[in-house]
């Protein structure tokens, strides 16, 4: 790093180069907390910010609230100086501010940047020259330059002169045993070459591979492309599943066969819908922004429609299967296996299982769930059900008219489930279809 000419940025450069910089992480969830722990692991002092006092208290008492993060890891980070606060007045203590807050959609499926804006507005009165601001929350191309930069300028903070501004999208994959925070290459785009240089200098302590791009817009678009690629391909395979089902073909057998081709095919698995904090949401950020340029992203929106329909498809399959046994959804006892949006994690964000519960309850079903990773149904911005995870015993399983496998956790005893179920709807292709096991 040799681009910093002003005293403020020269001082920041020196702090980064000598590992004396303090990092502030805003949003201590599934993205922010692992990043904070990674910086602590390499000896960088971290101050975490979150408006959820429960999370702040947990960290400061050495407890973890995310299943895959051990309490011992929190304790080790504390020994390295990691602590948390809900007081934005402490922003002046940090040298780098990294924003990892949610970017949901509103009820019209339009971008909701309120979490980003509120975080920046709360931090601004306490910001000073010589700080680096990095946005990691996925958003539409132009957010860094059009939303963040003007707010900095309003306080006399000029990116590349007396502060630094970058966009570096998160790439977390909860539950992936092969790729942790440090292993996943980090995209980064800076407002100026100086901003980029400072951002790389900071992140390269925690991340093994840095991937610089020409601008924040390019970095923002890169993240959207990654998730739109997955959304479109999952939409395709979900549509293929519907067609295959009508033809009496097992789509999972077809995918496995196609995947033997050593080139030109990437296997995607169908399911009950899309979940997680990225794929169900991020494509709509681009479709919304594209309208500003008079572009209709029909291909992206079609994939979204298909994926959004999948929970309804599952409920229709449940209705048909119950009907074949002389029962209706109304009054039936139905147990969903798995509340998380994917296997072996405790994350329910945008989980299709939650939508299926809502749809079934609307139709009069008596719904419960069992998930070894989620003992109590968590409150979300859109849904809440007063439910707790059912313990799977032979007697409990027999009491349900229908079992719906929505998330194929490895902890489930599938032999026990199959032996004692009256009817199973398998949305994940985990079980072999039979008279009482229906693929959906």
- Cα–Cα distance, 167 to 174 (Å, whole number): 21
Supply 176's token pair: 């992936």
Cβ neighbours of residue 126 closer than 8 Å, sequence gap 6 or more: 88, 89, 90, 91, 92
The CB-side HSE value for 265 (13 A sphere, CA atoms) comes to 12
| 89: Cα within 13 Å, side-chain hemisphere | 1
Taken as a whole, the chain contains a residue count of 440
Q: Which residues pair with 388 in a beta bridge?
A: 376
Please report the sign of the dihedral spanned by the C-alpha atoms of residue 31, residue 36, residue 41, residue 42: positive
In 10 A of CB 121, how many CB atoms?
Answer: 11
Instruction: Burial-class residue 245 by CB neighbours within 10 Å (0-12, 13-18, 19+).
Output: middle
Measure the CA–CA gap between 242 and 379, rounded to whole angstroms: 32
Is 402 exposed, middle or buried, given 0-12, 13-18 or 19+ CB atoms closer than 10 A?
Answer: buried
Please name the helix (run of DSSP H) or strand (run of DSSP E) that holds residue 118, with its range, or none: helix 114-123
**Cβ partners under 8 Å of residue 110, min gap 6:** 284, 288
d(CA 16, CA 175): 31
CB 81 within 8 A of CB 46: yes
Backbone angles phi, psi at 96, to 5 degrees: -135, 130
Residues that are catalytic: 278
CA-CA distances (angstroms) from residue 314 to 160, 211, 241, 272, 310? 52, 40, 12, 6, 6
3-state secondary structure of 31: coil
85: phi then psi, degrees, rounded to nearest 5: -155, 160
Task: Give the sheet arrangement for strand 186-190, strand by strand.
Answer: 83-85, 46-49, 23-26, 96-99, 132-135, 164-167, 186-190, 210-212
Give the Cα-Cα-Cα angle 371, 278, 370 (nearest 5 degrees): 5
């Amino acid at each position: 790093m040799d681009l910093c000419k002003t005293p403020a940025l020269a001082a920041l450069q020196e702090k980064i180069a000598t590992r004396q910089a303090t990092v502030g992480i805003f949003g201590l969830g599934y993205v922010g907390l692992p990043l904070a722990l990674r910086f602590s692991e390499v000896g960088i002092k971290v101050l975490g910010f979150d408006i959820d006092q429960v999370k702040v208290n947990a960290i400061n008492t050495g407890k973890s609230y995310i299943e895959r993060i051990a309490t011992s890891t929190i304790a080790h980070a504390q020994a390295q100086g990691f602590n948390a606060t809900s007081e934005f007045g402490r922003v002046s203590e940090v040298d780098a501010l990294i924003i990892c807050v949610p970017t949901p959609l509103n009820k019209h499926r339009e971008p909701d940047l309120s979490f980003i804006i509120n975080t920046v507005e709360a931090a601004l009165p306490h910001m000073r020259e010589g700080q680096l601001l990095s946005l990691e929350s996925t958003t539409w191309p132009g957010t860094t330059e059009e939303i963040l930069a003007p707010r900095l300028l309003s306080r006399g903070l000029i990116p590349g002169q007396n502060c630094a501004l970058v966009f570096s999208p998160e790439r977390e994959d909860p539950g992936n045993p092969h790729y942790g925070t440090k292993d996943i290459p980090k995209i980064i785009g800076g407002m100026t070459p100086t901003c980029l240089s400072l951002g790389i200098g900071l992140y390269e302590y925690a991340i093994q591979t840095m991937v610089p791009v020409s601008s924040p817009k390019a970095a923002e678009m890169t993240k959207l492309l990654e998730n739109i690629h997955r959304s479109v391909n999952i939409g395709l395979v979900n549509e293929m599943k519907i067609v295959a089902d009508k033809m009496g073909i097992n789509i999972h057998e077809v995918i496995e066969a196609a995947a033997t081709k050593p080139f030109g095919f990437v296997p995607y698995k169908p399911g009950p819908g899309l979940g997680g904090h990225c794929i169900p949401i991020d494509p709509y950020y681009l479709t919304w922004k594209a309208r500003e340029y008079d572009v209709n992203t029909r291909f992206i929106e079609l994939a979204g429609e298909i994926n959004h329909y999948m929970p309804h498809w599952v409920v229709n399959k449940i209705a048909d299967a119950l009907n074949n046994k002389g029962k209706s959804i109304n009054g039936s006892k139905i147990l969903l296996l798995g509340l998380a949006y994917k296997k072996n994690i405790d994350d329910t964000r945008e989980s299709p299982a939650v939508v299926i519960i809502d749809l079934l309850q609307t139709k009069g079903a008596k719904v419960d769930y069992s998930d070894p990773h989620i003992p109590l149904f968590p409150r979300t911005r859109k849904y809440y059900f007063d439910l707790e995870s059912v313990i799977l015993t032979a007697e409990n399983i027999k009491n349900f008219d229908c079992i719906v496998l929505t998330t194929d956790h490895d902890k489930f005893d599938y032999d026990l489930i199959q032996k004692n179920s009256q009817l199973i709807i398998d949305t994940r292709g985990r079980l072999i279809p039979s008279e009482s096991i229906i693929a959906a």
